[in-house]
């Protein structure tokens, strides 16, 4: 077992992975995506589709005395598998590149080029195979990144530029909030913020928000979309709901606290793709908030209060 882990670490060193990805965790991930058990030869490596939890289970079953803690998932994803993809060692969702970033069905697969390379480990062809992979490495990473980029959801902002969000229903609903809901209910408004499950892609006009008295961390508990309705000086705080909850009482309180310094009035909006999805959450939606369904964009549902679409 220890010999295989040591060999996997040596492969990562030889490939040129950064020091943070030359550790045991990354070695175990390489063994998992190549399906290399302790008695299996490198030339018998294969390329299964495998998710983060199965990677952890593989390591626990074949190489560890005790299993990884569940909260290790994010560390493996962010500190190893992300870098494997960047290096061309593995591919992300090769079976369905448009799968949402936060999908529980996300999988990785060792790239065919990396598979050919590691099958040569320990043989007389290793140096030649390694040299070929290192020569291909940059172009592979760019190729796989381009594949992911082509699946992104484009989002148009006021100045005519485009922001691209990760693929999936959630991002599509965010796009509809910006391109359909915003122009209809806050005409002439400014898109201040649009978040993304991909975490690295978002639109954030920090200065515009600061002029309204609000300073927040983009990685905090921001709503999915913030629109400044300049004519009325309202901030529309919109949550896009496809699989997680709406603006309920707790969330409304969080947003009120987050934007408490705002000189603009606060309007709380929950957006759903359809009324059928909305029906699942009717018991949770906060009073003094608005609900919009993308399938019927000309209508709003107002939850109580003395005004329709306005701050309180």
Q: What is the pLDDT of residues 181-192, one digit of tens each?
A: 988 888 888 889
pLDDT digits (tens, 9 = 90+) for 48-83: 999 999 999 999 999 987 788 888 888 999 899 988
Whole-model pTM above 0.75?
no
**End position of a domain, from candidates 147, 176, 196:** 147
In DSSP terms, which residues pair with 300 in a beta bridge?
292
Residue at a domain's end among 147, 172, 187? 147
| Tokens, residue 30 | 């390489």
In a domain? residue 310: no
Identify the pLDDT of residue 183: 86
Residue 108 belongs to a domain with what CATH number?
1.10.10.1820
Q: Is the confidence at residue 152, as pLDDT, over 70?
A: no
**CATH code at position 194:** 3.40.1350.80
Q: Domain range holding 262?
A: 153-303
262/202: higher pLDDT = 262
User: For the chain, what percent of residues have pLDDT higher than 90?
Assistant: 52
Buried b (16+ CB within 10 A) or exposed e, 90-99: bbbbbeeeeb
Q: Which of 33-42, 54-63, 145-154, 284-293 has the lowest mean pLDDT?
A: 145-154
For residue 171, the SS3 value is: helix
Query: Does 219 score more than 60 pLDDT?
Result: no
Same domain as 63, residue 44: yes
259 three-class SS:
coil
Residue 212 has pLDDT above 90, yes or no: yes
Q: Would you say the C-alpha torsion 255, 203, 99, 18 has a positive or negative sign?
A: negative
Phi-psi region of 168 (alpha: psi -120 to 50; beta: other; left: phi over 0): left
| 99 domain residue, yes or no | yes
- Cα-based angle 233, 239, 241 (whole degrees, multiple of 5): 155
Does residue 54 fall inside a structural domain? yes
* Average predicted confidence (pLDDT) for the chain: 86
In terms of average pLDDT, the best of 117-131, 133-147, 242-256 is 117-131
- Tally Cβ neighbours within 10 Å of residue 289: 25
pLDDT: which is higher, 302 or 202: 302
Top-confidence range, 45-54, 97-106, 134-143: 45-54
DSSP H/E element including 290: strand 289-293
Burial 104-117 (b: 16+ CB within 10 A, else e): eebbbbbbebbbeb
For the chain, what is the domain count? 2
pLDDT of 198 higher than 90: no
Instruction: Classify residue 72: in a domain, yes or no.
Output: yes
Same domain, 287 and 164: yes
Above 70 in pLDDT, residue 161?
Answer: no
């Amino acid at each position: 077992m220890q010999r295989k882990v040591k060999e996997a670490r040596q492969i990562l060193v030889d490939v040129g992975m950064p020091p943070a990805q030359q550790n045991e965790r990354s070695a175990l991930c390489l063994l998992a995506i190549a399906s290399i058990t302790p008695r299996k030869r490198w030339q018998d490596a294969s390329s299964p589709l495998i998710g983060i939890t199965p990677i952890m289970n593989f390591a626990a079953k074949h190489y560890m005395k005790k299993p990884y803690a569940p909260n290790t998932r994010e560390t493996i994803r962010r500190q190893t598998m992300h870098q494997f993809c960047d290096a061309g060692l593995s591919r992300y969702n090769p079976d369905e590149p448009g799968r949402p970033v936060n999908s529980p069905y996300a999988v990785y697969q060792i790239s065919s080029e990396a598979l050919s390379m590691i099958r040569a480990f320990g043989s007389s062809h290793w140096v030649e195979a390694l040299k070929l992979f290192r020569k291909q490495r940059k172009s592979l990473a760019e190729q796989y990144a381009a594949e992911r980029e082509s699946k992104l959801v484009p989002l148009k902002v006021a100045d005519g530029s485009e922001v691209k969000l990760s693929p999936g229903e959630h991002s599509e609903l965010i796009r509809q909030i910006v391109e359909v809901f915003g122009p209809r209910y806050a005409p002439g408004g400014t898109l201040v913020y649009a978040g993304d499950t991909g975490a690295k892609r978002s639109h954030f006009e920090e200065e515009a928000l600061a002029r309204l008295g609000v300073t927040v961390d983009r990685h905090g508990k921001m709503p999915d979309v913030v629109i400044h309705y300049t004519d009325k000086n309202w901030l529309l705080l919109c949550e896009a709901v496809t699989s997680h909850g709406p603006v309920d009482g707790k969330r409304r309180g969080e947003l009120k606290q987050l934007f408490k310094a705002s000189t603009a009035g606060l309007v709380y909006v929950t957006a759903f793709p359809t009324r059928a999805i909305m029906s699942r959450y009717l018991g949770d939606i906060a009073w003094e908030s608005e609900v919009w369904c993308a399938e019927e964009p000309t209508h709003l549902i107002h939850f109580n209060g003395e005004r329709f679409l306005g701050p309180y």
